Amino acid sequence: MTNVLDRIKAYKLEEVAARKAQRPLAEVEAAAKSASPVRDFEGALRRKVSEGRYALIAEVKKASPSKGLIRADFEPADLAAQYERGGATCLSVLTDAPSFQGHEDYLVAARSAVSLPVLRKDFMYDPWQVAEARALGADCILIIMASVSESQATELEDAARAWGMSALIEVHDGQELDRALMLQSGLIGINNRNLKTFETSLDVTRDLGARVGGERLLVSESGMATREDLAKLSGYGARTFLIGESLMRKEDVEAATRNLLSDPVPA
């Protein structure tokens, strides 16, 4: 029986094959080389955390498979600018169309409107996609351990490093975390949403957070909506958060972002 992530992987592999056939790697790499310089995604997060503050990766997200349309008045550039004014450290922009109503143009528009580093939020399987992400201006890619093998993860991470980009390695359980810790990236994302069932629980960060440790930066993803959520998760080692839906549903995204980040990190 297939789950949501399996269905996404199936169509994404077909989509990537079709795009590769239409646009050779050499052409994509040429575009990537002429793209605007990489912004230091991981460095921006680490600097904010070193200042004793929460670091927010604010997500520009129109829809999701589980919730459907999240925001009808969807203007990526305006939303990105509101996030930046509200105090976000980085952005995440959905580019997957079938499940999230995303588009590559959304990333281009959002990044052009701000000075923040930007994560391309998509399902990555092929180094061709990494080159494409850089050509679009992305500064970071997402590697979802539940959907790739160890060799694929390494290949994607190596490609990101070759382009000077950061890589956020996403996990949901202990086995995935073990595999992620074999990679080199300094960013480990613990997704509180199970991408196979789309059920969400902040206990996932509680259960796995202490195992990240060392030099890695723990990013708690999904399911957060309040200042109290951030304070709770900080007790599990998280100072960096990826949040989209709860902010996307607010009429005033800038004010909502500022309010979410208004409390100091608990001592």
What are 140-178's pLDDT values in tens digits? 999 999 999 999 999 999 999 999 999 999 999 999 999
Catalytic residue among 170, 176, 245, 254: 170
Beta carbons of 146 and 172 less than 8 angstroms apart: yes
Q: Is 33 a catalytic residue?
A: no
- Residue 191 is among the residues annotated as catalytic for this protein: yes
222 tagged catalytic = yes
Which stretches of the chain are DSSP H helices? 4-22, 25-33, 41-50, 76-86, 97-100, 104-112, 127-136, 150-162, 174-180, 203-212, 227-234, 245-248, 253-260
Considering the chain, what is the average pLDDT of its residues? 95
**Catalytic one of 121, 185, 194, 234:** 121
pLDDT at 253 over 70: yes
Q: Which of 42, 48, 59, 234 is catalytic?
A: 59
Whether 254 is catalytic is no
Percentage of the chain modeled with pLDDT above 70: 100
Tokens 């979802």 correspond to: 144
Quote the pLDDT of residue 1. 58
Catalytic residue among 9, 12, 61, 62: 61
pLDDT, tens digit (0-9, with 9 covering 90-100), for 54-95: 999 999 999 998 889 999 999 999 999 999 999 999 999 999
* Domain-wise residue ranges, the chain: 4-260
84 part of the active site:
no
Amino acid present at 239: R
Average pLDDT over residues 225-254: 96
The token pair that represents 107 in the structure block: 């990333």
Paired with 200 in beta bridges are: 193
221 included as an active-site residue: yes
Q: Residue 190's pLDDT band (boundaries 50, 70, 90)?
A: very high
Choose, from 220, 222, 245, 254, the residue flagged as catalytic.
Answer: 222
CATH number, span 4-260: 3.20.20.70
pLDDT band at 196 (very low <50, low <70, confident <90, very high): confident
Does the active-site annotation cover 155?
A: no
